[in-house]
């Protein structure tokens, strides 16, 4: 396939950015989207140019670092798919593809398609963990957990912290990310001890970092590559109300 790429290029957070055009020729339909970018970068380097900077790590849909907005949609148009798992067979010969970094006040651009997502790490530091004594690992059946609670915790734990929910939300909200972490831990006995401090700390930190609030657009759920549900936001709101009583 031969494609036209319109790629966001920006040298730093303080520098102006713009869309530059690149030709992607002879692209195999079986390539992943990142493999296609690798091929384009090889051509740019051979021509003496600066390659397109983009984040990646596992390339297996697990790490969440391949954060790109493709044709206006975080991670592209395929449901429950990260950029690294998006294949070129979903595009047609002659297509023009627009590639941009995550949008969001809390995600400043580092370079080109790379954004600083450390605000999500600081949200976790504000309460998204369980305080435990180190030592021997207890038996799995030492604490009995109802299956419904275990299933809810596992569903929430699917969040990989990629930030697609923030990039998709018109308010730049991190409510789905925070809701997933709060729901995961509040559903388990080990997490209930710090539940009140956790939810208040994470919501306060979300505001401090410049994330917006939820206004029920449901774009976060649509963009999530793991299908994390907006119903967890309702759980987050309930946990927040409970924390004051």
Question: Which pLDDT score, from 0 to 100, does residue 208 have?
Answer: 95
Cβ contact 188:149 at 8 Å:
yes
What CATH fold (topology level) applies to the domain 118-242?
A: Fumarate Reductase Iron-sulfur Protein; Chain B, domain 2 (1.10.1060)
pTM: 0.93
Q: What percent of the chain clears pLDDT 70, i.e. is strictly above it?
A: 100
Asked, colleague to colleague, whether 3-111 and 118-242 share their fold, the answer is no
Q: Determine the Cα–Cα distance for residues 40 and 34; give it in Å rounded to an integer.
A: 10
pLDDT of residue 138: 74
Q: Does 140 score more than 80 pLDDT? A: no
Residue 115 pLDDT exceeds 80: yes
The model's pLDDT over 57-114, given as tens digits with 9 standing for 90+, comes to: 999 999 999 999 999 999 999 999 999 999 999 999 999 999 999 988 899 999 999 9
Sign of CA pseudo-dihedral 88, 92, 94, 98: negative
As beta bridge partners, residue 5 has: 22, 97
Whole-angstrom distance, CA of residue 49 vs CA of residue 142 = 59
Please give the average per-residue pLDDT across 232-239, as a whole number.
96
Q: How confident is the model at residue 139 (pLDDT cuts 50, 70, 90)?
A: confident
Above 80 in pLDDT, residue 144? yes
Average pLDDT over residues 34-46: 97
Q: Which residues contact 17 (CB under 8 A, 6 or more apart)?
A: 8, 9, 10, 109
Average model confidence (pLDDT) across the chain? 95
DSSP string, 58-91: -SSSSS-----EETTEET-SSTT--GGG-BGGGS
Residue 149 reports pLDDT greater than 80: yes
What are the pLDDT digits (tens) for 184-234? 999 999 899 999 999 999 999 999 999 999 999 999 999 999 999 999 999
Residue 150 in this model has a pLDDT that exceeds 90: yes
Give pLDDT, residue 141: 80
Residue 201 pLDDT = 97
Give the chain's end-to-end CA distance (angstroms, integer). Answer: 61
The pLDDT assigned to 137 comes to: 73
Fold exhibited by the domain 3-111: Ubiquitin-like (UB roll) (3.10.20)
SS3 20: strand
pLDDT for the residue numbered 132: 78
Q: Is the pLDDT of residue 174 over 80?
A: yes
pLDDT higher than 80, residue 245: yes
Domain coordinates in residue numbering, the chain: 3-111, 118-242
Look at residue 133 in the predicted model and tell me its pLDDT: 76
Report CA 202 to chain centroid distance, whole Å: 17
């Amino acid at each position: 396939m031969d494609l036209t790429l319109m790629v966001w290029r920006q040298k730093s957070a303080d520098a102006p950015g713009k869309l530059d055009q690149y030709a992607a020729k002879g692209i195999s339909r079986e390539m992943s989207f990142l493999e296609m970018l690798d091929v384009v970068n090889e051509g740019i380097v051979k021509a003496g140019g600066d390659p397109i900077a983009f984040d990646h790590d596992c390339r297996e849909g697990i790490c969440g670092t391949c954060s790109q907005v493709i044709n206006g949609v975080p991670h592209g148009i395929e449901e429950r798919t990260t950029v690294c798992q998006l294949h070129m067979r979903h595009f047609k010969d002659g297509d023009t593809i627009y590639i941009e970094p995550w949008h969001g006040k809390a995600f400043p651009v580092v370079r080109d398609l790379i954004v600083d997502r450390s605000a999500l790490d600081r949200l976790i530091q504000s309460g998204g963990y369980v305080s435990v004594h180190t030592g021997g690992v207890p038996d799995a059946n030492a604490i009995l957990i109802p299956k419904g609670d275990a299933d809810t915790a596992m569903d929430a734990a699917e969040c990989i912290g990629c930030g697609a929910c923030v990039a998709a939300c018109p308010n730049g909200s991190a409510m789905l990310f925070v809701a997933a972490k709060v729901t995961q831990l509040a559903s388990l006995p080990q997490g209930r001890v710090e539940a009140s401090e956790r939810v208040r700390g994470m919501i306060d930190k979300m505001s401090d970092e410049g994330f917006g609030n939820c206004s029920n657009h449901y774009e976060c759920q649509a963009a999530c590559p793991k299908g994390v549900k907006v119903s967890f936001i309702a759980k987050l709101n309930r946990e927040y109300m409970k924390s004051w009583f």
